[in-house]
Amino acid sequence: MKVLVLQARLSDDPMLAHEQQCFVSATGLPRDALVFRNLVNGVPRPDELRDHHALMIGGSGRFSVAAPDADFFEPTRDLLRWVVERAFPTFGSCFGYQLMVDALGGRVEHDPDNGEVGSYELELTEAGAADPLFGTLPTRFIAQMGHLDRATTVPATLPNLASSPRSPYQALRVPGAPIWATQFHPELDQRANHERYTAYIERYGGGERDAEYRALPSPEASSLLGRFLELVGRS
């Protein structure tokens, strides 16, 4: 299996290589099965996806869907709309979730008061419990978070699969297609998320946020990428 993974990070971002290793670990695939492309250096053409079995979209360093100030945003929207039209197997994580919401007509806003950084409990919705991927999770599960932006409006055509008190929209699926996205980070585990928190402490840490930060195991959420690939492989 060959997977294209999109990143959106500047070359000096300390989490550039870290994120790559996290996707390798979470998918369980050999390192050479994952092809990493940085959106900062150009957005892949749709025809390039035909050389891969699935697409994954990672997080972001300084970039925000709520303030799209980089050239890659519009062509990335076009790419994601193409993905949805063709039902190409895709999983978006955090920034990838927000890109998908935005591309399909939803709204993402900067809302640090409701930011989630650390380990948080999520609850499956009725749609999540019935979903072929999320339905294997317990009703309540721990997930790794790292966001100050959140989706405030999601198109009614996209079922919301999980929620938290601060951010009710936490996961989506494109109906009838092998396309999922999560506001949380299934590619991170407890240790990796703490490493990211430490690297971005000036942005995410300080004061009350340090006091509330929790690092907890998230085995169920961290299994999602591997099970996503199993579903893709079966189809």
- Does residue 208 surpass a pLDDT of 90? no
pLDDT of residue 63: 97
Residue range(s) defining the domain that contains residue 37: 3-234
Percent of the chain with pLDDT over 90: 91
Q: Are strands 107-110 and 149-153 parallel, antiparallel or unpaired?
A: antiparallel
Please say whether the beta carbons of 91 and 231 come within 8 A: no
Active site residue 187: yes
Active site residue 185: yes
CATH number at residue 34: 3.40.50.880
pLDDT of residue 210: 67
Which of 185, 202, 212, 220 is flagged as catalytic? 185
Neighbours of 190 (CB within 10 A): 17
pLDDT of residue 73: 98
Which of 187, 195, 202, 208 is flagged as catalytic? 187
Neighbours of 233 (CB within 10 A): 11
Number of domains the chain contains: 1
pLDDT of residue 206: 62
Which of 52, 94, 116, 147 is flagged as catalytic? 94
pLDDT, tens digit, for every residue of 34-84?
999 999 999 999 999 999 999 999 989 899 999 999 999 999 999 999 999
Chain-wide mean pLDDT for the chain?
95
Please say whether the beta carbons of 163 and 169 come within 8 A: yes
Q: How far is CA 62 from the centre of its chain?
A: 15
What would the mean pLDDT of 87-92 be, rounded to a whole number?
98
Q: CB-side exposure of 101: number of CA atoms within 13 Å? A: 29
Please say whether the beta carbons of 22 and 187 come within 8 A: yes
Q: How far apart are CA 137 and CA 218, in angstroms?
A: 11
Please say whether the beta carbons of 103 and 174 come within 8 A: no
pLDDT of residue 235: 77
The neighbouring-strand residues paired with 143 are 120
Active site residue 94: yes
What would the mean pLDDT of 6-33 be, rounded to a whole number?
97
30: which residues sit within 8 A by CB, 6+ positions away? 24
